[in-house]
DNA sequence: CAAATAAAAGACAAATTTATCCTTTATACA
DNA sequence: TGTATAAAGGATAAATTTGTCTTTTATTTG
């Protein structure tokens, strides 16, 4: 469904929101320890997100990543689109470039509703909402240690 | 969503069903010309499907690929599972191995309904049904030449 | 200003997916 | 029975994705 990059990206932003109380910044190593992701690789993904102004960052001492109030309210679809592009919502299920309403592939209509559901779900879910779910302990971002 | 292999595999079986009138066999080069897919690569995917008894094949003169009546009635999910496995229906949206009902990721429940919809769609759609859509000219499997 | 810190960026490597080529095996039919 | 045919299978290559390492840049703080 999502690429590994996108999975790490989503997990990272959710962690940042859940961990940075009152504007505190979170470092890349802390992030990656808490989402079970490779550090340098995830750093590059966060670079993409900061370039797209989905995440904010600060270099130097006490630097790190954080989300401002506007960014917290962004929907998950912003993260997904920045990393994986729009193919998941717009592309043909069978990979046909010319597939369209007037020139449909055999599963076009059946696929359309699913694509729309995915899109709707990602549009309606905010980063903050998912961060709160982590804060409250209702969900997790990594394998629990035993 | 699906891998390239899976896209080619689905397109191939739909073409075979749509093109093989009364048990006629269809050769790999004809298949690939009509679904815009690389020949040798698609041949390997059809090998997987024949090993899984989703497609039938015959070597030698007048050989080729075909689907018997039972195989025509198979659902698309058989094709997808044989090629891409079950991760699309069972895996976590954020790639967490331990994600489950009791230990959910933040998007677990929202994702579940979408996964179920995809699964349901693939279970309810038969290969034959899609082949008929092609036969009737209601849909296409490749870019139309202008 | 200098040192320490942390993200940004660039270069490179491993792994996986996608694609191609060549040889082998099975089948039909003359 | 032998030859042509077409799928099966093996080996290899290209492309993409994923992952690592090192250097550079910006910022804070003493």
Q: What is the pLDDT of residue A143?
A: 74
Q: Is A142 a domain residue?
A: no
SS3 A87: helix
Q: Is A144 a domain residue?
A: no
Q: Are B31 and B43 in contact (CB under 8 A)?
A: no
Determine whether the interchain pair A1/B121 forms a contact, defined as Cβ–Cβ distance below 8 Å: no
Q: Is B146 a domain residue?
A: no
Position A22 confidence tier, pLDDT thresholds 50, 70, 90 = confident
Q: What is the pLDDT of residue A21?
A: 80
Which of chain B's residues have a Cβ under 8 Å away from the Cβ of A144? Answer: 98, 103
Q: How far apart are CA A14 and CA A129, in angstroms?
A: 9
E-strand stretches of A50-127 = 56-58, 64-66
| B22 Cβ contact partners less than 8 Å away, ≥ 6 residues apart | none
**What tens digit of pLDDT does each residue of A37-75 get?**
999 999 999 999 999 999 999 999 999 999 999 999 999
The CATH number that applies at residue A41 is 1.10.10.10
What is the distance in angstroms between the Cα of A63 and the nearest Cα belonging to chain B?
27
Element spanning B65, H or E:
strand B64-66
Question: Which residue does chain B place closest to A116, by CA atoms?
Answer: B114
Q: Is B145 a domain residue?
A: no
Q: Is B62 a domain residue?
A: yes
Structural domain span for residue A102? 4-135
**What tens digit of pLDDT does each residue of A90-133 get?**
999 999 999 999 999 999 999 999 999 999 999 999 999 999 99
Q: Rounded mean pLDDT of chain B?
A: 95
Q: What is the pLDDT of residue B145?
A: 57
Dmax over CA atoms of chain A, in Å, equals 57
Interface of B with A in 23-42 (CB under 8 A): 36
Instruction: Indicate which of B19, B84, B95, B135 best probes the interface with A, i.e. most A CBs within 10 Å of its own CB.
Output: B95
**Which of B14, B103, B108 lies closest to A106 in CB terms?**
B14
Report residue A141 as tokens.
């971002």
The tally of domains found in chain A comes to 1
Is the CB of residue B47 inside 7 Å of nucleic acid strand D?
yes
Pairing verdict, β B64-66 and A56-58: unpaired
């Amino acid at each position: 469904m999502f690429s590994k990059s996108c999975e790490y990206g989503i997990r990272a932003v959710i962690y940042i929101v859940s961990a940075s109380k009152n504007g505190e910044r979170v470092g890349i190593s802390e992030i990656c320890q808490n989402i079970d992701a490779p550090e340098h690789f995830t750093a590059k993904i966060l670079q993409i997100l900061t370039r797209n102004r989905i995440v904010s960052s600060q270099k130097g001492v006490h630097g790190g990543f954080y989300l401002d109030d506007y960014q917290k309210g962004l929907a998950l679809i912003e993260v997904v689109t920045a990393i994986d592009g729009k193919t998941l919502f717009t592309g043909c299920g069978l990979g046909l470039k010319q597939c369209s309403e007037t020139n449909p592939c055999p599963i076009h209509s059946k696929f359309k509703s699913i694509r729309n559901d995915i899109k709707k779900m990602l549009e309606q879910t905010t980063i903050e909402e998912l961060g709160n779910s982590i804060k409250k302990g209702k969900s997790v971002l990594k394998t629990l240690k035993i």
